[in-house]
Chains A and B, each alone.
Chain A
């Protein structure tokens, strides 16, 4: 185990998820990407203490591993301090800021864009996948019937503090925690399950 791997693992445990807008953390992220040996060493060290090194759509961070999370003594401390309102907003933000991004990426890949110059291995410099955003007004309108504005703002403040969401100029963007701390596959299953259940419960539409 190299000294560098220990330092990186410690930094990740301290930071949770690396912030792409912080130059130092961005440098750390690129260092991890460029050195696969370092990546393996850091992942091994974190796994030994019950954490997974996670990489989702370019975001890097640590989260409690599934095996460590099953211990009730550990999970007792893991309620996030979030209630149903926080989690509902979080899931809604995940749907529009992360899930949409994943789907767009995959859809772009399924239909190869035409007219781009390709190199020997089909790589290209141009890139147009800017991260999706959600206007504040749209979010407030969606939740208007459910929560008062002050409750929604308080929930958003808590989510911002935890790094799940960022806000600038009236637009919400996904924070690194929304990529790293969410199990996207199981989240999708859960949300699709909710949609399926709602569909069954809905009365048939009149013809």
Chain B
């Protein structure tokens, strides 16, 4: 049964234009409200009253059947009967007890029974650092079993807390004071993390790998690993300190007694501390001992000699020599080959010259290559035995094209009869073939 919410009070608390349903976690918050009357009736301003009500409720929860007021008084003979009546009335008004009018008997409704069990099982007084992590994850597991919708929320809460703790442990490990480190070492973190991992794995098995829950579970595992790593580093550091052994080797003397012993000791007893290396050298000592160095050198040299492999001469492999294909390195040769192929296939040489040409720059490059081919063969070019070609176009002074755009330059070359537009094939030039 959901208590009625005062809409005016709610709207007064919200910013203008915002509805309660638009608040984050509003739905989840509302689900807790059914226990509001129960909590209000149980947790009064008087701790004594609350404790007595809990005593009464726990007695009723363990007893069977329905209760008349007389039976309740019998169950709790240690309580004053008037007080018992007042407590029963208060609990009845708060919803902890249902009254059947026909026979004036009481019984705890299921919601009250569940809340009472929840409060008892939580064992709030027994929370210690050694079990808080386990409790946190058990709450998630409980929520996951009772109400699957709450799993995501509880995981998010656990993850936020674990990540904070992981960061904290890293900081403690890096710069923590001895007291903090020792306290941390006593939290049985390994056992707790093992338990948490088992619970999380059980939730993981029921979780779809593509869901948000799964991503949170992965991050929880990472945070747990961080905490575990920090804890291991800590254990090692404490062992290095030898603090635990020092603690057990307590001599039972006061500082004053030990101070007197130091003052009363002989010089020889005091200097024994240096002889026995209890106090170490402040500066780096000798790094190399010549005798050791010589011994090592003399003993390792013969063995090194024996281990050395015999040298066998091997003729280096002959490099593989191949004729360099000029077409691979010289674009002029590539043009020559292309023109030759076109001639063999009976295609137009003009077309072959400009095939694969996509823009004006390419066209100029191809014409330049042709000019170089011509230049290399004086006037004309032998593309096949007995077949020679030469560019059949007037020579254009470079100054006539200077400062023109691409389109203007092409138009100028067409007007000077260097290039000829061909329907559907773009621009071409003329080549004279001599056989």
Contacts and interface: CB of A to CB of B under 8 A. Distances in A.
Interface of A: 13-14, 16, 30, 33-34, 36, 49-51, 54-58, 62-64, 66, 68-69, 71, 73-75, 77-80, 82-84, 87-88, 90-92, 95-96, 99-100, 102, 105-106, 108-109, 112, 118-124, 127, 129, 142-143, 146, 162-164, 177, 181-192, 194-198
Interface in B243-290: 243, 245-247, 249, 251, 253, 255, 257-265, 267-274, 276-287, 289
A29 B184 CA distance: 21
A77 B283 CA distance: 10
B237 interface: yes
Given A88-B263, A194-B269, A119 B165 contact: yes
B185 to A, nearest CB: 9
Given A58-B177, A99-B258, 13 more contacts: A30-B175, A56-B240, A71-B289, A78-B285, A79-B274, A90-B279, A109-B179, A122-B186, A122-B187, A123-B183, A124-B183, A183-B278, A196-B251
Interface of B: 128-130, 132-133, 136, 161-162, 165, 168-170, 172-175, 177-180, 182-184, 186-187, 189, 227, 229, 233, 237, 240-243, 245-247, 249, 251, 253, 255, 257-265, 267-274, 276-287, 289, 291
A74 B285 contact: yes
Nearest to A130: B177
Given A74-B286, A120-B136, A185 B249 contact: yes
Contact of A102 (B172, B183, B246, B264): B246
Nearest to A71: B289
B281 A80 contact: yes
Contacts of B251: 188, 192, 195-196
A184 B182 CA distance: 18
A121 B286 contact: no
Contact of B133 (A49, A55, A83, A120): A120
Of B170, B172, B189, most A-chain CB atoms within 10 Å: B172
